[in-house]
Structure 1
Amino acid sequence: MVAASDAMDARLKAGELLRSYWACPGDQLEVLEEEEEQIRDFYVDVQAAEPNDVASLVGMTLLAFAKLRAHIVHRYSPPLDWCEDAMWRRVWHPDKTRRPTELKGTDKASSALAEDAVEAARIALEQQPNNNLAAFALARSLEWLGDRSAAVTAYGEALAVDPYDEAARSRLTILKGESIADAPVRPAPGDRLSTWYPHGFYVVELTEPVNNSGDVSGVLALLNDPDSARSLADGYLQDRLGEVGEDEGFAERLEEVTLTVWTNLQGARLLAMDLREALCPTPDGGQIIDWSQVAMADPLIEPLPTGCPVRWRGELLFFGATEILW
């Protein structure tokens, strides 16, 4: 029998492997098979300890979806430059790529994988109907199979949970036969619409521009513990800005960075706190975050299970900190 603590560890390890699997969709399929087997083994351990554990069901959905995605990239796509590939990894937004939006009728292998993803997503949604990651995976897989009517319903369910999901909104618009130009504008974070994620979690966004390229790099973290969120932000601030004094352009540098903590609660409005507004000087001339000025739900209601991925504002996030380059 697997202990609960071991189950959490297995879920965390499976999530880390999923992150790696998702980041390399262009690899040879046989290279990914070993990782797939390890991920499945970890989730089997979780299910043995916690039958019908939703996080592992969502993870299995993402694994099936990622396997379909890797197969399609391998089968249909020419080599991509790193910019386009990065966009594909982050959003998987087919109408912005050269990939087909439906499978060819003769492509039995891809169709079988899409059917596997549909089945996995439906199992997860039986346990957690408002899981927008599973709903989006279901919608996209149904669309690949050519079942547009069912895909429209599933995209609508994903959008009902997260109205900020631009990819779901655009796919829904296209499948309804409407023009993207006439689609409702994606709401801005400042619109403060309510979201209906099934769990409470924090997203820590710590980024800065890369020279004059227009790209940004940094860290995007999905966490379920406020102390971890605070520690990550404090460390990033010191690592990136700790040695920049007032005479060396600290204010100008601060204007360029993003230091934001998002709190996400079911049925609540999106809460984003700009940590730059909570900075205070230290006696030695540095800057630290005064966390007493930062509004964060603590503790979270129905916190996200450790290791569980989420789809947040149209982005696929893996548990923990992920280095990004956009």
Structure 2
Amino acid sequence: MVDDDGGARLVRAGQLLADSWRGFWFDNGTEEIAGRLAEAERLYDSVAGRGAPGDAAPAEAEVADGEVVDAEVAATIAIGRSTIAAFALRLAVDVDHDLNSGWDWDDEGPPLGEMEWDEDGATAALADQSVAAARAALDADPDDPLVPLQLGQALAWTGDREGAVAAYEEALRRDPWDGTAHECLAQLEVTPAEPPPAGAGDPISRRPYGFAVLHEQGRISNSDWFEERRLFGTLSAARADADACLREIGDLEREFLDGMMKLELEIHRPGRPVTTYDLIARVPDAPDTGPFDIDWSGIPLDEPLESPLPPGRLLRMDDRACFYGSREPSAVSH
């Protein structure tokens, strides 16, 4: 285990990665992404000791003061480093060298061997680093499809079709409903098996951790919505983030709130049905202008989460990377 300070550094590193993802999504502030990735790497190094991205993720890792980092912390760091490397490759392809031919990292994979258009070879080393970091983190969380998908995209960029197919298939083994992994295989002319029926009623949490998800959607135009899911190891932290989202709305009239924002709380407990609460529906009709409050009565906020999600851990859910912790105020405009 890490102490509170180490946990806070892991959470901060994850928030920097979330900020980077938002920069890609909005195509705004991409000039700041490299600095964020470097800071996240330094934070991971400060917790786990310095190691190259391609080094195997150890079950235990020495930190500077002689303490030992446990397997869960090492896994969080390995997954974070894989994400840093994946984002660094994306930054080089999309922004620094403008090699993107129209494909979307969030919803599909790169065309096979697209790196051949990089005449200066500027992305080759970054692709190798992404492959190495993903392989190092591949077994860190055997239930999550995030790292296999990152591996598949890096391998596809380099032209390794066989390796990319294997990685995408591993992502689908972990989450048969991942739409991006299906699309990536289709691009490589592989037809994956149809996912099993999701089942009726509340879905069962397949994760070994207990955690809360704050699912936020904000309108950014008449037809477009921004969407993200933030992860928390306690319900109280999720509540604080939800309350902050509502305070940020300001003096919006209540009748327009439903059309501007959607906010749901999901509670995941290992092997139990996922419980979902519509938080906007819990905002009283009065007062008729913000700031607004959520009626939290009836939501079991005092019940601890069994096997809480480790601080700073990234997960992939509902076809998106999900980051741990609250976002910075005003990171999304409603």
1:67 matched to which residue of 2? 88
Residue 311 of structure 2 corresponds to residue 306 of structure 1: yes
2:40 matched to which residue of 1? 39
2:53 matched to which residue of 1? none
2:217 matched to which residue of 1? 207
Cα 1:257–1:317 shift into 2, 3 Å: same
Q: How far apart, in 2, do the equivalents of 1:31 and 1:254 lie?
A: 33
Q: How far apart, in 1, do the equivalents of 2:280 and 2:122 lie?
A: 50
Residue 99 of structure 2 corresponds to residue 77 of structure 1: yes
Tell me the CA shift for residue 221 of structure 1.
2.8
How do 1:153-302 and structure 2 match up within 5 A? 153-178=166-191, 192-194=202-204, 196-210=206-220, 213-216=222-225, 220-237=229-246, 239-240=248-249, 244=253, 250=255, 253-254=257-258, 257-278=261-282, 288-294=293-299, 298-302=303-307
Tell me the CA shift for residue 280 of structure 1.
5.5
Q: How far apart, in 2, do the equivalents of 1:32 and 1:253 lie?
A: 32
Tell me the CA shift for residue 144 of structure 1.
1.7
Q: Unmatched 5+ residue regions in structure 2?
A: 49-62
Deviates more, 1:267-276 or 1:161-170: 267-276
Tell me the CA shift for residue 173 of structure 1.
2.9
Maintained 8 Å contact 2:228/2:322: no
Q: Which amino acid aligns with 1:274?
A: D
Identity %: 25
Cα 1:198–1:185 shift into 2, 3 Å: closer
Q: How far apart, in 2, do the equivalents of 1:152 and 1:265 lie?
A: 32
Tell me the CA shift for residue 116 of structure 1.
1.7
Maintained 8 Å contact 1:189/1:270: no
Cα 1:189–1:228 shift into 2, 3 Å: farther
Maintained 8 Å contact 1:103/1:110: no
Q: How far apart, in 1, do the equivalents of 2:223 and 2:28 lie?
A: 28
Q: How far apart, in 2, do the equivalents of 1:76 and 1:39 lie?
A: 24
2:54 matched to which residue of 1? none
Q: How far apart, in 2, do the equivalents of 1:255 and 1:30 lie?
A: 32
Cα 1:77–1:4 shift into 2, 3 Å: same
Secondary structure of the structure 2 residue equivalent to 1:291:
coil
Q: How far apart, in 2, do the equivalents of 1:229 and 1:130 lie?
A: 23
1:113 matched to which residue of 2? 126
Tell me the CA shift for residue 203 of structure 1.
1.8
Q: How far apart, in 2, do the equivalents of 1:201 and 1:258 lie?
A: 20
Q: Which amino acid aligns with 1:196?
A: R
Deviates more, 1:165-174 or 1:152-161: 152-161
Residue 141 of structure 2 corresponds to residue 128 of structure 1: yes
1:104 matched to which residue of 2? 115
Q: Unmatched 5+ residue regions in structure 1?
A: none
Tell me the CA shift for residue 160 of structure 1.
3.5
Tell me the CA shift for residue 159 of structure 1.
2.8
2:12 matched to which residue of 1? 13
Secondary structure of the structure 2 residue equivalent to 1:293:
coil
Cα deviation, 1:167-196, whole Å, max 9, x if unaligned, reads: 112112332444xxx995898898754453
Flag the structure with higher helix content.
Answer: 1
Deviates more, 1:7-16 or 1:287-296: 287-296
Tell me the CA shift for residue 228 of structure 1.
1.7
Maintained 8 Å contact 1:162/1:197: no
TM-score (norm 2): 0.72
Tell me the CA shift for residue 210 of structure 1.
4.4
Tell me the CA shift for residue 319 of structure 1.
2.1
Tell me the CA shift for residue 64 of structure 1.
1.0
2:322 matched to which residue of 1? 317
TM-score (norm 1): 0.73
Maintained 8 Å contact 1:94/1:100: no
Q: Which amino acid aligns with 2:130?
A: A
